[in-house]
Amino acid sequence: MSQPEAGHGGVRVERTLALIKPDAVHKAEEIEELILKSGFTILQKRTLQLSPEECSDFYADHYGKNFFPSLAAFMSSGPVTALDLAREDAIAHWKTIIGPVNSVQARDTQPECLRAMYGISELCNAVHGSDTFIAAERELKYMFPNSVIEPVPTVEAAKEYLIKYVNPTLLRGLTELCKEKPLNPCTWIADWLFKNNPNKPNVFDGAIVEEAE
């Protein structure tokens, strides 16, 4: 995903994936018109039929949840239209436009959102949008494998990495530091982080022991 350029007020242009799902693909033209009126540029577009296996890969983050089999079956039940969208603050803006996950609830709370207008239920909710910068990068690559997607914005990607991977380990280390109260806390925490690097497996007597997630 290309490095975004700063827009007015320091807001950066982003890219995100939009999917028009099987229950709403017959309304694709109407939805695309609303997308363009909302200030998006459609960089790429394709209509395709996903297999159940491809749907499972695409929604891998939901694997193991009760609704996962129904989701894979629904998303492979007919064609979908994938759109590569761009505009300032695209990810958050698209999520606002599509509205709540449950289309029935959306009609009560946000009747003008896309899921309220075109969706049927929580499962058949018309459209999909990427949740984060990292998700947008992965999903755009999945739907448009022949296009060049450069790294997502450095600052946002770094924030997501810190929140997901660094902060939990650092919190554990600082908690242990408070318990131990060593004379040289800087050296102690440095040693602890080296020994407890989550990306480095522990080795004991030639055997690799990985920590359970």
Question: Does residue 93 carry a catalytic annotation?
Answer: no
CA pair distance 211, 184, nearest whole angstrom = 27
CA pair distance 123, 59, nearest whole angstrom = 13
CA pair distance 81, 26, nearest whole angstrom = 10
Answer whether 212's CB lies under 8 Å from 203's CB: no
Separation in Å, CA 115 to CA 84, 104, 146, 187: 19, 9, 30, 54
**Catalytic option among 8, 26, 62, 128:** 128
Alpha-carbon torsion (46, 51, 52, 58), positive or negative: negative
The residues annotated as belonging to the active site are 128
